[in-house]
Structure 1
Amino acid sequence: MIPKALTIAGSDSGGGAGIQADLKTFQELNVFGMSAITALTAQNTRGVQGVFPASNECVRQQLDSIAEDLKPQAIKTGMLYRSSIIQTVAEKIKTYGWSNVVVDPVMIAKGGASLLQKEAIETLKTNLIPLSTVITPNIPEAEVLTGMKIKSNADRKQAAEMLLVLGCRSVVIKGGHHEDNLEAIDLFFDGNDFVWLRGQRIQTRNTHGTGCTFSAAITAELAKGENVLNAIRTAKSFIQAAIEHELNIGSGHGPTNHWAFQTYRMGRP
């Protein structure tokens, strides 16, 4: 059986984040990718110039069409933008019994534009996160979801415990925003064990779409039957390669290199 993964997210016209990044990641990890678009954005490496959300009916019909013919082995959510879309997505996840749900709580674009309305945060917490296998917030997103400031490793552990109370089965709090010049350290917690995942910090402005790509790589590995922690380890390696081998595209926050993991792992120049 060919593994299939579904991304429910916004479209990035610049190609570095959103469904474009997700589908590239699925392809690179040998998973067939499908998408349900929640919003169109006009954006490039300099920022987001416009956001045009899809109607609830548009999202609903996309999900129904996929469910009727192409059952995904894993799904991820990214930019959902407003409460009603979150409610629609949660309803369909329950209706179709979809498992291996990765929730990337996308809130702010790299350039600072809001990608989730404030009124939707509570809906995300109460409707969608309880359905998730793993959630993948960065530190600012974890602060919003928990209502606490995260400065130390002890704070991150406390935040991870608080996030699990929301109903997710596991959480990985990404460390890209932590004040450490040498390493980017992610924290995984499943209610039993805390696992620190270390990676070298790359000094670069080309980090557009890192969160989308990381969560998509987790989703791809889950679709192939991998367990959550191993899926996260592969995703960590995938995004590390994507950041390290820069494309240097655009004049702002450039996109990551989605083909770097396969290219350099296989020993090709």
Structure 2
Amino acid sequence: MSHAVSIPHTLTIAGSDPSGGAGLQGDIKTLSALGTYATNVITAVIAQNTRGVAAVHPVPAGIIREQLDNLLDDVRIDAVKIGMVASREVAETLREALEARRPRWIVLDPVMVAKSGDVLVDAAGISAVRDVLVPMADVITPNLPEAAVLLGVAAPTTADAMEAMLPSLKALASPYVLLKGGHLAGDSCPDLLATPQGDRWLPAPRIDTANLHGTGCALSSAIAAHLAHLPPDADHERIVTAIGDAKRWLHEALEASRRLDVGQGRGPVHHFNAWW
């Protein structure tokens, strides 16, 4: 007699990307490629392609709450990834809904700075992410400009400066902080992981590719997917391993991105490189 295998259920809360490389669509690809059943709640309709963002049309907080409540009434969610949140009203809506029926894991990608360096949210949006969402998250995944915006300081340019920034990020109350070092100069691309048991570097070589569209979305979603596969009693080392496995998956997706030819700007990572 065959028995059904329990496949983890994941949720991405994010804006759309018609080009399919980032945002909601990129998250669903990542979550699916890594063996979870992906669900979604849309927070903004975005007109963009591989060359940039043309327009952002936020979804009202009430409709976001309706999406969340209807989904959570019906589907068990093991892990959720939260992307860009631009207003305090939306941040508080997410906190209320997720604290009422909290998934085992919450991963926050504090998307606040575009690759061009432009800050995407105002001061109220920044404080909402920092004060409302970060303390609720199990893992946050800021890059160096985003970490700087969260703390109101200059972005670090060296590994030593990354280490000096980490205590202030840990003080924001998320137990696991993955500070991404992709903006550092050089041939390596190290990330610095803060955990309740100490800090550690996760080194990796820099991939020579222009296909960087959606890398932050892919990494945070990959972390959510790997955490969703863990048993409820997973210990610290298994959590750290899951985060490291997500980083290695992104490395492979970046290497394989050369096989894709999508758009005329920054192309996407190859989410399904292991399958195609």
What TM-score results when the alignment is normalised by the length of structure 1?
0.93
SS at match of 2:35: coil
Which whole-Å deviations, capped at 9, do the CAs of 1:34-61 have from their partners, x for residues lacking one?
0000001000011001100000111001
Corresponding residue of 1:135: 140
Corresponding residue of 2:3: none
Amino acid at match of 1:33: A
- CA distance, structure 2, for counterparts of residue 201 and residue 9 of structure 1: 27
Corresponding residue of 2:149: 144
Corresponding residue of 2:114: 109
CA RMSD of aligned residues (A): 1.5
Within the candidate set 227, 233, 240, 1:229 is matched to: 240
Q: Does 1:10 align with 2:15?
A: yes
SS at match of 1:39: strand
Corresponding residue of 2:97: 92
Amino acid at match of 1:148: V
Amino acid at match of 1:192: Q
Q: Is the 8 A contact 1:188 1:196 kept in 2?
A: yes
Q: Is the 8 A contact 1:104 1:215 kept in 2?
A: yes
Amino acid at match of 1:91: E
Corresponding residue of 1:173: 179
How far off is 1:197 after superposition? 0.9
SS at match of 2:123: coil
Corresponding residue of 1:257: 270
Amino acid at match of 1:253: R
Amino acid at match of 2:242: A
How far off is 1:191 after superposition? 3.6
Q: Is the 8 A contact 2:46 2:53 kept in 1?
A: yes
Corresponding residue of 1:51: 56
SS at match of 1:119: helix
Q: Does 1:79 align with 2:84?
A: yes
Amino acid at match of 1:235: A
- CA distance, structure 1, for counterparts of residue 243 and residue 29 of structure 2: 17
How far off is 1:199 after superposition? 1.2
- CA distance, structure 2, for counterparts of residue 99 and residue 25 of structure 1: 19
SS at match of 1:51: strand
- CA distance, structure 2, for counterparts of residue 110 and residue 248 of structure 1: 20
Q: Does 1:119 align with 2:124?
A: yes
Percent identity, please: 39
Relative distance call for 1:183 and 1:20 in structure 2 (3 A) is same
Unaligned runs of 5+ in 1: none
Amino acid at match of 1:236: K
Which whole-Å deviations, capped at 9, do the CAs of 1:173-192 have from their partners, x for residues lacking one?
11111112x11111101143
Amino acid at match of 1:8: I
- CA distance, structure 1, for counterparts of residue 42 and residue 123 of structure 2: 20
Relative distance call for 1:115 and 1:11 in structure 2 (3 A) is farther
Within the candidate set 210, 218, 221, 2:223 is matched to: 218
Amino acid at match of 1:43: Q
Amino acid at match of 2:101: Y
How far off is 1:219 after superposition? 0.2
Q: Does 1:240 align with 2:251?
A: yes
What TM-score results when the alignment is normalised by the length of structure 2?
0.90
- CA distance, structure 1, for counterparts of residue 119 and residue 53 of structure 2: 9
How far off is 1:228 after superposition? 2.7
- CA distance, structure 2, for counterparts of residue 157 and residue 111 of structure 1: 24
Which whole-Å deviations, capped at 9, do the CAs of 1:180-219 have from their partners, x for residues lacking one?
2x11111101143221111110122210000000000000
Q: Is the 8 A contact 1:47 1:110 kept in 2?
A: no
- CA distance, structure 2, for counterparts of residue 41 and residue 143 of structure 1: 25
How far off is 1:147 after superposition? 2.3
Unaligned runs of 5+ in 2: 1-5
